[in-house]
Structure 1
Amino acid sequence: MSSLQIRKITPGFGAEITGIDLTRPLTPDQEADIVSAIAEYGVCVYPHTGLTDQTHIWFSRMFGNLWTIGGQATRPSRFAYPHLFEAGNLSPDGSISMDEMARKRRKGDRLWHTDSSFTKERTTYSLLLAHEVPAEGGETGFADMRGAYDALPQSMKDRIEHLEAEHSYNYSRMLAGFPITEEEVEAGMIARHKLVHIHPGSGRKSLYIASHALRITGMEKEEGRALLRELLAFATQPQFTFNHYWKPGDLVIWDNFSTMHRGGDYDDLNHRRDMRRTTVMAYPPPPVVLDPRFRDRFDPAQFEAMVDA
């Protein structure tokens, strides 16, 4: 029997989880319960965790290899660990950042997106921990890509079944108003992924779209972008989404293969938002793929094919 106490946030998506101390070593059964919960609900909220940078990283490693922040050896960082991503509005000295270009770049986080979809390898899970939160705003919205796919008309499912989208970080920044051109987008890193994939761990089909998706492979550019906008609008209807309003100590884990998310607006020049994220690499496969409870629904070869796509 699971040791977790689970409160569903929506009927089929998102859960608040209590009854477990994430700062202490976990038993194999507890680890399996945590992995099963994220596979089922897509987004798991753990309130009042008491995690530090060190225990945040230690807990995250349960899910697989962690993404490290490139260039920290030469670029100032607030953190002693290269596994922590700055997801707030603070400068390296801990003060509120007044860097206007950084503020413009962060506006891209207000768009619906999937972490690292613009890389070939991608990432499976993101684990975001709140240290300080603004007095108002700064929430995070989440969208259920499995539920959205299930609700699509069959004609749309048939239309998109074998399509692929090309993803670019620079493209989403351009959409958000960052000063970058289409030519610079094309010159940057672009990764191609299936528009519909089988989600590891649950065996359900899921959309894989985001503001990073700049076009549909083999489709006329504007037609492809119109299709992506249509899917994005469909998948972010209220019945597929919810907002999390942060409190210090909250840890939220989301599955990048079955969800999208976006940040909420707040007064980032006058209110501190100290948010730190670890991110789990997609390869080698995370433990959820190997959980015996899901082996009857998932062929590991599907994961290999998805990573190589």
Structure 2
Amino acid sequence: MTLTVEPILPRFGAEISGVDISAPLDATVQAELLRAASTWGVCVFRQTNLDNDAHIAFSRIFGQLELAPIRPDKPPRFGRRELIDVGNLDDEGNIKHDPRDLMFNRGNQLWHTDASFVPTRSSYSLLLAHEVPASGGETWFADTRSAYEDLPSNMKDRIDGLQAVHSIWWSRRLAGYNISDDEIDNGGSALQPLVLPHPSGRNALYLASHIREIVGMSREDGQALVRELIEWTSQPQYLFSVDWKAGDLVLWDNLASMHRGGEYDDRRSRRDMRRTTIRDASVISDAKDAFSNVFDVVDKTKV
């Protein structure tokens, strides 16, 4: 197999072809895929023919898979906890109409980085489209390595060494979700560096709407700084979008990018998207199940 890499931007994003990722891959091809993911940050694979098992098997090339949160009242929709449901369908395959579900999912339309709100954080995410809306629902990606490299030197000096507190409930509040300060305070959070050394040897801004505050700054000043950095990183020269078709898979490096979902008519259009998430191997942790307690602290009528 010959891997073909077609860059999307000069420093960021590539479409990958020439390899059947639904089949077992030898060590040489796996190494090429790992290099491509590290180099380009986002890799787009079209018409993959992946089913759930093949999706999971391909994902294991990139590291340890996180498991979706345990919900005693709600077993995994796909029968596999390695698959995280980020669509708008219920267990029977019908469009969800509960406003709580719709509001929670709209948090994904804010710029964010997957799983920055747990201490183990995630390196790669692999999102597979099973069913997509006729219009809208694209995913936007931003190049946080190039954005850091292009920052003015005085801003680099200003943010050097800063730490940020990430909470998924904070970003959901920003999206309009009804949640109290106490629930956010008790809902779990993670302390992450604002500038993250990347395994490629480049530095990246580690940004997300999950950031509630910057350590050592007032919440107001910290939020202002986060907004400024997100606005910088979401300039056109750092961005591209993926328009989905069923069967497409996009792999992205959460340590080298941020992303957000595009709007679509989530009350009328079906969207079945399934994601695997890879734990950042550079974070030392004996946690076997990092996500399970994330959703246990809020009022269950809100989730």
TM-score computed with the length of structure 2 as normaliser: 0.92
What do residues 165-206 of structure 1 show as CA deviations (whole Å, max 9, x unaligned)?
Answer: 100000000000001133321221111011001112x11000
Letter in 1 for 2:139: T
- In structure 2, the residue matched to 1:292 is none
Give the Cα–Cα distance (whole angstroms) in 2 for the partners of residues 30 and 167 of structure 1. Answer: 36
Equivalent residue of 1:30, what SS?
Answer: helix
1:3–1:20 CA contact under 8 A, matched in 2 = yes
1:72–1:82 CA contact under 8 A, matched in 2 = no
- In structure 2, the residue matched to 1:27 is 26
Moved more, 45-54 or 68-77: 68-77
Misfit runs of 4+, over 4 Å: 304-307
Percent same amino acid at aligned positions?
A: 49
- In structure 1, the residue matched to 2:186 is 187
1:11: how far off? 1.1
- In structure 2, the residue matched to 1:103 is 102
Equivalent residue of 1:126, what SS?
Answer: strand
Give the Cα–Cα distance (whole angstroms) in 1 for the partners of residues 277 and 33 of structure 2. Answer: 16
Give the Cα–Cα distance (whole angstroms) in 2 for the partners of residues 115 and 42 of structure 1. Answer: 14
1:165–1:194 CA contact under 8 A, matched in 2 = yes
2:107–2:175 CA contact under 8 A, matched in 1 = yes
Give the Cα–Cα distance (whole angstroms) in 2 for the partners of residues 304 and 124 of structure 1. Answer: 10
1:242: how far off? 0.6
1:305: how far off? 7.7
1:306: how far off? 11
1:78: how far off? 2.5
Equivalences for residues 228-239 of structure 1 within 5 A: 228-239=226-237
TM-score computed with the length of structure 1 as normaliser: 0.90
Give the Cα–Cα distance (whole angstroms) in 1 for the partners of residues 8 and 105 of structure 2. Answer: 27
2:51 corresponds to 1:52: yes
Aligned residues: 287
Q: Is the alpha carbon distance of 1:190 and 1:140 closer, same or farther for their aligned partners in structure 2, counting shifts above 3 Å? A: same
1:140–1:262 CA contact under 8 A, matched in 2 = yes
Structure 1 runs not aligned, ≥5 long = 286-302
Give the Cα–Cα distance (whole angstroms) in 1 for the partners of residues 103 and 283 of structure 2. Answer: 36
1:304: how far off? 5.0
2:145–2:256 CA contact under 8 A, matched in 1 = yes
1:72: how far off? 4.7
- In structure 2, the residue matched to 1:205 is 203
Equivalent residue of 2:266, what SS?
Answer: coil
Q: Is the alpha carbon distance of 1:104 and 1:204 closer, same or farther for their aligned partners in structure 2, counting shifts above 3 Å? A: same
1:98: how far off? 1.1
- In structure 1, the residue matched to 2:172 is 173
2:27 corresponds to 1:12: no
Q: Is the alpha carbon distance of 1:227 and 1:62 closer, same or farther for their aligned partners in structure 2, counting shifts above 3 Å? A: same
